[in-house]
Chains A and B, each alone.
Chain A
Amino acid sequence: MISRRDFLQMSMAASALVGASGFGNWSRLAAQQALTQDQLLQFDTFGNVSLIHVTDIHAQLKPIYFREPSVNIGVGDNRGAVPHVTGADFRKLYGIDDGSPSHYALSSGDFSSLAKAYGRVGGLDRVATVVNAIRADRPDALLLDGGDTWHGSYTCYHTEGQDMVNVMNQLRPDAMTFHWEFTLGSDRVAEIVEGLPFAALGQNIFDAEWDEPAELFPPYKFFERGGVKIAVIGQAFPYMPIANPGWMFPEYSFGIRDENMQAMVDEVRAQGAECVVCLSHNGFDVDKSMASKVTGIDVILSGHTHDALPEPVLVGETIIVASGSNGKFVSRVDLDIQNGRMMGFRHKLIPIFADVIEPDQEMAALIDEQRAPYKDQLEEVIGQSDSLLYRRGNFNGTWDDLICDALMSEREADIAMSPGVRWGPSLIPGDNITREDIWNVTSMTYGKAYRSEMTGEFIKIILEDVADNIFNPDPYYQQGGDMVRIGGMGYRIDVQKPQGERITDMVLLKTGEAIDPAKNYVVAGWASVNEGTEGPQIWDVVEAHIKKLGTVTVQPNDSVTVVGA
């Protein structure tokens, strides 16, 4: 007699084999230089239900480069656990050959040269091809969007998300949950959500005044697929009013609310759900922690922290699937559901190699239609880059170094601060920098670049506060971003220490002097969550700076010393 747990573990091993053979194939194919669409899509249809997961697209309609992080430190129980394994260690863990397509797609290291060999990734026209192919195998597959969809580009900003709504509607998701969408403002969000032809879910989206579930966002929706009654429960980003400007959506309150999640799981099970899927924007470590506390969820489709994992992670009897960001990946998860139990699964993280996967023509035309009114603005070349420009990583990326330089020089500041967001595609050396590229790493509805005076003591308080949002050993106290990026100042951080003791050795780089807690410094930054922030838009600041430089060369930045990793 095989218990359910044994069965899950067996199928986990089987899935690993499927995954491994998939990777092995890519690696061999790399040697043969013959990556094909059929091989990327190859999947032996399994069980009776298929889930398709996309998440954190950040309005990237067209193929882009996206470098995965080389620094992604785990703390507490997650120290050294995926997704906190990067570069060569990641490849070793999953048996990925150096220089292979999966090296390029999933890990950092040698990025610029591999990018030149394998080309761009993503593009929603390519994603449409993959979704259509899965639907050809399994016509009633569920397509689920984990959110951060209506944010992150020039066209998305100027259409207030309408370009993404039009394109996603054509992709026909069955449900969605939310994060950055709310920074469009609650009126605009309500306007879009009321017209959506699919479910807008969030068990943790509450009315702020009454602390009751918000009517506009149901907690779950039932689907009957392959003869199986499936409940999809939505989980929006828990810390929206803290990590983003709450004044833009004062009607709503969020939070993890795992006791309500448990109540919803129990409710849908009582209503006959044979399979429970959580469409989550918690972030990976929060999802792992939630899976250990809430029982009865079969699959968590995890978003927010932008991790791409080639195999699901098993917590108790729940599998957690992480599907990357920026349109770079699509996850397919086939489930065998028998008598209300998940008896096995098969999973594949499909990398969207833009030069290998044929664009879907209808979707390509629709995307061009969204971009046509802005074409000249998007394509204008502002400068060139001699350096790899990327953002992802716990500390400074080269894009942020460039943005901090722009802030210090254009705003005449001693110190610059750039938010530790995880979105923003990469550019490789030799690339033109277009206006679109600048907007891809700066676009937001609260992008004004402030300039103010702060004492050395207050700067430390900010660093300590943000550091605790990343390195608190309990994932429930993490917000899922990266460390605030600093220009003009160096510091040492011990990630294992408690809040208030992590940051030491703060130095003003231009003088080499220690930061004086009592002294005032001129600080320029952007993305303040405070209402009424004044200053020029960050994309204009960066554009002016790049225009003056002509060609951008970003020097290696070793001003942050990290210990305890």
Chain B
Amino acid sequence: MDFTRRETLALGGAAALTFVLPFRANAAVDDVIAEFTGGAAVGDAGVELTAPEIAENGNTVPISVSAPGASAIMVLAAGNPTPGVATFNFGPLAASQSASTRMRLAGTQDVIAIAKLADGSFARSSKTVKVTIGGCGG
């Protein structure tokens, strides 16, 4: 079996990612993603995730996602006991493929957005959101 350079890089990237995750993405996250994508490869261009670097309040963290032309965007909180947050489905008449919501985060972790794009391919974006007790700003 041959690996292309890209595949090798992608494997290496995935390994590194798992290693640095603060709240390690549990197997449930991988399962949910696999179910959403049907096991297809996931690219990194085409979906934008906006989330704060540090949550002002871990109980209500505002995020927004956007993926032009997408038919669905799934949002996951990788470190929550129940990682699933929402899946936004966009019909053919949707004026824009973007959505905003608020979520509760159990602690510092990665928030992940996966979009099913117009051509049927999948794209992923993720961002670490820190939940802190705070208190000592200069």
Interface residues on chain B, size class: 20 to 34
Identify which of A190-198, A369-377, A474-482 touches chain B.
A474-482
A241 touches B132 (CB 8 A): no
Q: Do A242 and B138 touch (CB < 8 A)?
A: no
Could you say which residues of chain A place their CB within 8 Å of the CB of B55? 242
Contact of A242 among B22, B50, B56, B128 (CB under 8 A): B56
Chain B positions within 8 Å of A472 at CB level: 130
Q: With a CB–CB cut-off of 8 A, which chain B residues contact A256?
A: 53
Cα–Cα, bound, A255→B51 (Å): 9
- Given A211-B62, A211-B100, A477-B130 in contact, is the A484-B136 Cβ separation under 8 Å? yes
B54 CB within 8 Å of chain A:
yes
Q: Do B138 and A420 have beta carbons less than 8 Å apart?
A: yes
Contact with A along B72-103 (1 / 0, CB 8 A): 00000000000000000000000000001000
Known: A421-B138, A479-B137. A469 touches B62 (CB 8 A): no
CB nearest neighbor in B for A525: B135
Report the minimal beta-carbon distance from A486 to chain B, rounded to whole angstroms. 12
Given contacts A423-B138, A479-B137, A480-B137, contact A255 B52 (CB under 8 A): yes
Q: Which residue of A lies closest to B100 (CB)?
A: A211
Give A529's nearest chain B residue, CB to CB: B135
**B50 to nearest A CB, angstroms?**
6
Most interface-central of A237, A255, A468, A483 (chain B CB within 10 A): A255
A259 within 8 A of B: yes
Complex contacts, A469 vs chain B, CB 8 Å: 132, 134, 136
By the criterion of a CB under 8 Å from any partner CB, how many residues of chain A are at the interface? 46
B8 located at the interface, meaning its Cβ lies under 8 Å from any Cβ of chain A in the complex? no
User: Are the C-beta atoms of B134 and A479 separated by less than 8 Å?
Assistant: yes
A527 touches B130 (CB 8 A): no
B1 at the interface (CB under 8 A from A): no
Chain B residues contacting A305 (CB-CB under 8 Å) are 138
Distance (Å) between the CB of A184 and the closest chain B CB? 15
Cross-chain contact A243 with B133 (CB below 8 angstroms): no
Q: 1/0 per residue A294-306: CB within 8 Å of B? A: 0000000000111
Alpha-carbon distance A527/B54, docked complex (angstroms):
20
Q: B61 to nearest A CB, angstroms? A: 11
Are A246 and B138 in contact, CB atoms less than 8 angstroms apart? no
A501 within 8 A of B: no
A539 CB-CB contact with B under 8 Å: no
Q: A528–B135 contact, CB under 8 A?
A: yes
Residues of B within 8 A of A529 (CB): 134-135
Q: Is the CB of B50 within 8 A of A259?
A: yes
Q: A466 at interface (Cβ–Cβ under 8 A)?
A: yes
Most chain A Cβ neighbours within 10 Å, of B54, B55, B128, B138:
B138
- A23 within 8 A of partner (CB): no
Q: 6 A–B contact pairs at CB < 8 A?
A: A242-B135, A244-B137, A419-B136, A465-B134, A468-B132, A479-B134
Which residues on A are within 8 Å of B, measured CB to CB? Answer: 179, 208, 211, 237-244, 246, 253-256, 259, 283, 304-306, 419-423, 461-462, 465-466, 468-469, 472, 474, 476-477, 479-484, 499, 527-529
